[in-house]
Amino acid sequence: MRFGADYAMLIDGRLETGGASFAVLNPANEQVFAHAPDASEADLDRAVAAARAAFPGWAATPMEQRRDALRAMASALVANKDDMLRLLTREQGKPHADAEGEVLGAAHWLDGAAQLDLPLIVNEDSDVRYSETRRVPIGVVGAIAPWNYPLLLAMFKVGPALLAGNTMVLKPSPFTPLTTLKFGELVKGILPPGVLNIISGGDNLGPWMTSHPGIDKISFTGSTATGKRVMQSASDTLKRVTLELGGNDPAIVMPDVDPEAIAQEIFWAAFGNSGQICIASKRVYVHADIYDRLRDAIVAYAQTIKLGDGAEQGTQLGPINNRPQYRRVLDLIRDAKAKGYRFLTGGEPHDGMGYFVPVTILDNPPEDSRIVQEEQFGPIMPLIKFASIDEVIARANASDYGLGASIWCADEDEAYAIARRIDSGIVWINETRHMSPLVPFGGHKLSGMGVEGGEHGLLEYTNAQTITRKRPKAV
């Protein structure tokens, strides 16, 4: 164990680097390039105590001031964009251009959250009674983020949680703690001490948070397996939970589209961020009439893609972020090979350092194959042939997941009719992955519980309070 870290936690308005630390690797070369603080249970207790102490003051702070604080945090990110994007590429692996998109996206999400408002509903306004329902902050929010979009997905939580008047303890993934810690350093002077605490640590830290009696709500983004554990652990203290979990999004491509015109979009729908996106297209169902043309166009485009270190100019796809996920992806590829499925590209392991997996496209593997049924979370695309609408809708819905889906179809009425039959939290038509801080997003089935974004997302950081007043007797 090493003591002292290169990046600091933010606890009660102070930056702390002391105590134990853990190594952070660059996934492009597997070299340790920094150490992050490894929070102890006592550190978590102090962070929670600071958030509790700050809560009454922050909850009473006028909404306009809370909005200003979110906007100031967004500006701090934009002003430090270049340093942040380089750090993000080093810890996460994504190419610089994508890292820039994530840093600016994180700022956009804070600015977007600042536009939201809490509703006041008048239930009754009669001679007998006045009754209203307002929304009040919950208290201390424990936020737990994953490693695929560490900064952006943390800001999905920071913006609305703080706007609603809660205080917070935020924990990044141990694979990607640095940009989130750096964010804490940038915004330290913007918020009163204790309003936002950022702590990093190992595998125990998440479970300590979900069972901590001083935390009132958990907002979690990560895998479905962990999400189940989070809900179980949070039940003891009856914490509110929002769970943004895994997905196995279908893309349905109808025969009336021009296959060559959409091939690149379909490619990026699956391979953006090297497939490490909860809403990546993970099963691409293509109508038999255009299957061969779309397949050939996607495979031709795939040959032009540059895989490499995200810090090198021209890189379009980076490595997998971490060794456990790299192993999972290789295991899925090995299984597909062993079963004799046809590979159109990829499938060969990479020699040398770095968690690189080449773009891998499979030609019509069976519906019950692991590569179709499981969330790959890597650069793999199973192209699957279908013949009828009823059949493809049944196949798309026959999944435990229900996060997103996309329909590619020139006939908008038909696309809309299909979209309404898909069991997922969001369905895109002729595009994919469009998201906004003003639009609710969340999963059906094992893809999660609750939503983030828009007014619906903001409400998840509040309790309802109804106040009723009997009117004096009318004379």
Q: Which stretches of the chain bind ligand NAD, using CB under 6 A? A: 144-148, 153, 171, 173-174, 206-207, 210, 221-223, 226, 229-230, 244-247, 278, 375, 377, 403, 443, 448
Judged by beta carbon, residue 57 or residue 207, the one nearer ligand NAD is 207
Q: Which two tokens stand for residue 101?
A: 């998109």
Measured from the CB atom, the residue of 138 and 154 that comes closer to ligand NAD is 154
Picking from 166, 205, 160, 200, the residue whose alpha carbon sits closest to that of residue 180 is 200
CB of 211 to ligand NAD, least distance (A): 9
Minimum distance from residue 457 beta carbon to ligand NAD (Å):
11
Instruction: CB nearer to ligand NAD: give 148 or 462.
Output: 148
- Comparison of 228 and 469: residue with beta carbon closer to ligand NAD: 228
Instruction: Report how far residue 380's alpha carbon sits from residue 262's, in angstroms, rounded to the nearest whole number.
Output: 18
Q: Among 91, 100, 102, 244, which one carries the catalytic annotation?
A: 244
- Residue 259 or residue 454: which is nearer to ligand NAD going by CB? 454
We find the least distance from the C-beta atom of residue 322 to ligand NAD, in angstroms, to be: 8
**Does the annotation mark 278 as catalytic?**
yes
Q: Looking at 91, 278, 374, 460, which residue is catalytic? A: 278
φ, ψ for residue 472 (rounded to 5)?
Answer: -60, 145
Q: How far is the CB of 303 from ligand NAD (least distance, A)?
A: 28
Residue nearest to ligand NAD (CB): 206
Q: Is 132 a catalytic residue?
A: no
CB of 334 to ligand NAD, least distance (A): 20
List, by residue number, the catalytic residues: 244, 278
